[in-house]
Amino acid sequence: MIAQRFFAADRRIGVTIFALLAAAIVVPLLNLAVSPQSAFYIPPYIVALVGKYLCYALLALALDLVWGYCGILSLGHGAFFALGGYAMGMYLMRQIGSRGVYGNPILPDFMVFLNYKELPWFWYGFDHFWFAALMVLA
């Protein structure tokens, strides 16, 4: 019902949303399908940067909807977003392995720098993507 009213108001909105969705699908596919020498190649850094910007836009949109329609001032949105980012950072730090500055395959670099001897118990599951994704969503 809301979508029908939204798209019925102006046809340009529907076309714009379709174009944005098509771009969101085509950009990563061009990165995989096109050779790096092509003019249509999009570097992985740009794809990751656009993904990061879209995540921030999603956070801003969710916060705007909660504030505007519900009248709720929710700082919990920012806290959950930060905890999800921290959990993803824990996964990425575990994936570095021995390629880090200190070369320790078990401990992340900052733990070696801070003279940790073993990995804390709450870091153990973060070497698996499925666990990290579950923690990001939880």
Does residue 10 carry a pLDDT above 80? no
21: in domain:
no
42: in domain:
no
pTM of the model: 0.47
For the stretch 45-82, pLDDT in tens is 888 888 899 889 888 888 788 777 776 666 676 788 78
Burial degree of 22 (CB within 10 A; 0-12, 13-18, 19+): exposed
Burial degree of 124 (CB within 10 A; 0-12, 13-18, 19+): exposed
Structural domains of the chain, count: 1
Does residue 107 carry a pLDDT above 80? yes
Q: How far apart (Å, rounded) are the C-alpha atoms in residues 60 and 63?
A: 5
52: in domain:
no
Does residue 135 carry a pLDDT above 80? yes
68: in domain:
no
- Determine the structural domain holding residue 79 and report its residue range: 75-138
Q: What single DSSP character describes residue 125?
A: G
Q: How far apart (Å, rounded) are the C-alpha atoms in residues 55 and 103?
A: 32
Give the per-residue pLDDT at 25. 87
41: in domain:
no
Higher-pLDDT residue of 112 and 2 is: 112
Q: How far apart (Å, rounded) are the C-alpha atoms in residues 130 and 127?
A: 9
Does residue 1 carry a pLDDT above 60? no
Give the per-residue pLDDT at 72. 67
Does residue 13 carry a pLDDT above 80? no
Strands (E), 21-104: none
Give the per-residue pLDDT at 62. 82
Q: How far apart (Å, rounded) are the C-alpha atoms in residues 116 and 76?
A: 32
Give the per-residue pLDDT at 20. 84
Higher-pLDDT residue of 5 and 95 is: 95
